[in-house]
Amino acid sequence: MAALLAMADILESLELYKESKEAMRESQVIGKRAQIENNTSSLHLHQRRAASTKEAMDARRELDDHTSTLHEES
């Protein structure tokens, strides 16, 4: 009798394990889909463009600062 109860517990544990693995797989798929949607959202694209513009402006400012010092030295 104890062996049958132990087997039933093992089968229930295996069933729960399978269900949890399936739930994890589904959550990974949902997470990947959300990440793709987020990367292509208009807000994300706007943020990337703004960051790129800021980098370009900073680089231009550094170049202008450097160029003005070159003219001052000549």
Return the domain boundaries, the chain: 35-74
Q: 68 pLDDT band (50/70/90 cuts)?
A: low
Structure tokens at 37: 């949607």
The string of pLDDT tens digits covering residues 13-51 is 999 999 999 999 999 999 988 888 777 778 777 877 888
Which residues, at least 6 apart from 44, have a Cβ–Cβ distance to it below 8 Å? 38
Three-class SS state of 7: helix
Whole-angstrom Cα Rg for the chain: 30
